[in-house]
Amino acid sequence: MNDLDPVIHQPARLKIMSALCQLGERARVDFTFLKDNLGLTDGNLGAHLATLETSRYIAVEKEFVARRPKTFVAATPEGRHAFSSHVAALQSILLPK
């Protein structure tokens, strides 16, 4: 049986990982786009992204777009694997024993 991942299980991080894993493997999403769509504040999202980045579940890259700094976020292969294992663990809890 798979184990639940405490890093991912926190509700905001669960939302973030679900959203990021919905994107293609080569896609990265803008911080503001993610914040607006998940309904999180700048600080809240930044803190959770830092936690996920420390666990190497996401990659955060900063770039200049039209001379303005922008932050792009993507799920790493490790993060995608951890997320699917976490979902499998949640589903296994619901299975009749």
Partner 1 sequence: MNISPDEAAQALKEIEASRSLMRSAIRSYRGHLYLWLWGCIWVAMSSLNWAYGQGALTYTNWLSGGGLAATLLITVAQGRQIRCRTDGRFLGVCATLLAFGYLVWPVLLGDLHSYDFRSYKAAFAYFSVLWMQIYMVGGIWFDNYWFWIGLVSTALIVAVLLLVPALFWASTLLIGFVLLGTGFYVRYCWR
Binding site for partner 1 (CB under 8 A): 3-6, 9, 11, 14-15, 18-19, 22-24, 26-30, 32-33, 37-38, 65-66, 70, 72, 87, 90-91, 93-94
Residue number, 18 or 55, with CB nearest to partner 1: 18
By CB atoms closer than 10 A (0-12, 13-18, 19+), residue 58 is buried
Residue number, 11 or 43, with CB nearest to partner 1: 11
Residue number, 43 or 96, with CB nearest to partner 1: 96
62: left (phi over 0), alpha (psi -120 to 50) or beta: beta
DSSP state, 3? P
Q: How far is the CB of 60 from partner 1 (least distance, A)?
A: 14
From CA 28, how far away is CA 83, in angstroms rounded? 17
75 touches 57 (CB < 8 A): yes
Q: How far is the CB of 78 from partner 1 (least distance, A)?
A: 17
